[in-house]
Structure formats: C-alpha cells, structure tokens
C-alpha cells in the first residue's frame, strides 16, 4: 500500500464527493453532446437551451448519414488509420529493437532524432508534402495520408516500443541463439511474441493518432480521400450551422474509439505511462 492512501473515513468521504463532482463536470460536455444529437434540429438551437431532449429522435443521425461524403469519409478514416498503423509498426519494431538491444552510436543518434521529430509542427512538413505526393503520383489518396500520419506515429511508436523491448531479459534471446536461432530468428520467434502486449499498445496509439488527425487531412486530401474530421469541420460552412447533424456525426465518430478504450483500457494506461514513467 502506498503511504499516500488515506484511511480516515471523513477524509475519504470528502475526496469521494470531490471526485464525483469532478467526474460529473468532466463528463457533462460529452453527455450534453449525446443528448443534443437526439434532439429535433429545431430544439438544438432553442433559447433557452435544455439539457435533455423533450422528444427523442434519431432524425439527426439519419440526416448526417444521408449527407454526401459522410459514409465514404468513414471508410477513408478506417483505411487511412489501418494503413498508417501498419506502416508505423513495420518500421518501428526493428528500429526500436536495434536501438535498445545493440546500443550503437547510430542508435543513440537515431532515437534522439526521433524525439526531435516529435517537436516539429505538422504545418511545417505538411505543406512540402503536397508537392512530394504530387510528384509521386499519389495525391489525394488514403495511402498518401497514411504516410503523412505515420510521420506522427512512427516517432511515438519507436519511443514506446523501445521501452517495451527494454523490459525483455537479454538471456531469453541468448538461449534462443544457443539453440541455433539467428539474430533475426530470435527477434521474430522469441522477442516479438513476448512483447505482443506492448505491440498492441503501440498499435492503438498509432491508430488513434491517425483517426483523430486533422491538419494533414486538411492539406493533403480533396474529395476522394477525405476523412471524417474534415467532413465534420465542413458542416459549418457548407450547410450553415446544423448543430444537430454535426453532434450526431461527432458522436458516431467517437463511439468506435470509445469502445476501443473500453475493451483495451488496461493496455492504454500501460502505454500512456510506459513512455513517461520509465523514460
């Protein structure tokens, strides 16, 4: 038990009240968005506003889904996020392993470089990327956007994976090598299975980074490969301020990742703290 845990009933009661209040305050915005999405379009802009809908309706959901480009944008978001997660993992796994296991001078340079790249404002590399993708002939494709998103998630993945590889005892590989495995074989058959949990965590973070990204999507996509965050943002200019449909789409876009969090919460906490606490 941690020395900071309090056992006095009175202070525990006060802390509980404080925590519940905080959670209510914290959760309220999201709940309000959820409730609004079930109001009639007219009630969403009623004065004065009410918290709960007077009549519950899925009208906003129907009109959001029915809009041009909404369904394709969802597909684009999924395809882009999956592709960019794959790119990040394929590149990050061997690199992070090399950094932690072999500790060469180049490895140190590499990991510091990856950290520095995390500080670059996306607007700075997003603009030249437009020209690069044009000359590669992949403008306005999910693949191009996935590459752009991987520039964000790759440094993060390298950083996370090195902290997971660090936890693997070296003896494990030595044993495999004595049994005749090559260095690559030891990595593939011994180290990767042991770090499966860590790989899952890294994949979640890479996926989230792409799913929620906005600036690259804004600069690099036109109509074909547009992701949902862009569509959500466009609601306000193209169709006036349709808050009902906007909140419905925002809810629909958040539900998959919230479910993901629900299923994988232990892993997510592990990932959040891996980089920082061990780092």
Q: Give, as ranges, the residues between 215 and 234 that touch another protein (CB under 8 A).
A: 215, 229, 232-233
Q: Which of residues 63-102 bind another protein (CB under 8 A)?
A: 87, 90-92, 94-95, 97-99, 101-102
Instruction: Give the sign of the dihedral formed by CA 148, CA 120, CA 92, CA 277.
Output: negative
Question: For tokens 């309706």, what's the residue?
Answer: 57
CA distance 93 to 161: 7
Structural tokens at position 55: 């009549």
- The correct pick among 56, 188, 214, 239 for binding another protein (CB under 8 A) is 214
- The correct pick among 183, 197, 223, 263 for binding another protein (CB under 8 A) is 183
Of 55 and 135, which has the nearer Cβ to another protein? 135
Contacts of 252 (CB under 8 A, 6+ apart): 61, 64, 65, 74
**Under the criterion CB under 8 A, does residue 265 sit at the interface with another protein?**
yes
- The correct pick among 52, 58, 75, 118 for binding another protein (CB under 8 A) is 118
CA distance 100 to 111: 10
Environment class of 57 (CB within 10 Å of its CB; exposed 0-12, middle 13-18, buried 19+): middle
Q: What is the closest distance, in whole angstroms, from the C-beta atom of residue 225 to another protein in the complex? A: 17
Question: For tokens 């592990």, what's the residue?
Answer: 270
3-class state of residue 176 by DSSP = helix
Q: What is the closest distance, in whole angstroms, from the C-beta atom of residue 200 to another protein in the complex? A: 16
Contact window for another protein (CB under 8 A) among 20-28, 54-62, 170-178, 189-197: 20-28
Of 55 and 237, which has the nearer Cβ to another protein? 237
- The correct pick among 83, 145, 158, 168 for binding another protein (CB under 8 A) is 158
Instruction: Number of residues interacting with another protein: please give it, by CB under 8 A.
Output: 96
Backbone angles phi, psi at 263, to 5 degrees: -75, -40
**Under the criterion CB under 8 A, does residue 61 sit at the interface with another protein?**
no
**Under the criterion CB under 8 A, does residue 150 sit at the interface with another protein?**
yes
**Under the criterion CB under 8 A, does residue 48 sit at the interface with another protein?**
yes
Question: For tokens 């996926």, what's the residue?
Answer: 207
């Amino acid at each position: 038990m941690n020395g900071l845990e309090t056992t006095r009933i009175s202070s525990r009661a006060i802390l509980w009240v404080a925590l519940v209040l905080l959670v209510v305050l914290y959760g309220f915005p999201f709940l309000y968005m959820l409730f609004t999405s079930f109001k009639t379009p007219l009630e969403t802009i009623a004065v004065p506003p009410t918290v709960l809908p007077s009549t519950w309706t899925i009208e906003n959901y129907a009109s959001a889904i029915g809009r041009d480009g909404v369904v394709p944008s969802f597909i684009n978001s999924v395809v882009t996020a999956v592709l960019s997660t794959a790119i990040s993992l394929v590149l990050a796994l061997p690199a992070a392993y090399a950094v932690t296991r072999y500790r060469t001078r180049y490895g140190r340079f590499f990991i510091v470089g990856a950290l520095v790249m995390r500080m670059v404002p996306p607007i700075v590399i997003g603009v030249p990327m437009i020209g690069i993708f044009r000359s590669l002939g992949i403008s306005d494709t999910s693949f191009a956007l996935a590459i752009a998103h991987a520039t964000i998630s790759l440094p993060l993945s390298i950083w996370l994976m090195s902290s997971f590889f660090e936890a693997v005892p070296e003896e494990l590989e030595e044993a495999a090598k004595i049994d005749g495995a090559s260095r690559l074989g030891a990595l593939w058959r011994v180290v990767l299975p042991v770090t499966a949990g860590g790989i899952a965590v890294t994949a979640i973070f890479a996926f989230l980074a792409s799913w929620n990204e906005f600036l690259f999507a804004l600069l690099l996509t036109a109509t074909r490969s547009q992701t949902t965050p862009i569509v959500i943002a466009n609601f306000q200019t193209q169709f006036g301020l349709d808050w009902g449909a906007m909140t419905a789409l925002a809810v629909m876009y958040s539900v998959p990742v919230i479910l993901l969090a629900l299923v994988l919460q232990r892993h997510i906490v592990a990932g959040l703290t891996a980089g920082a606490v061990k780092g």
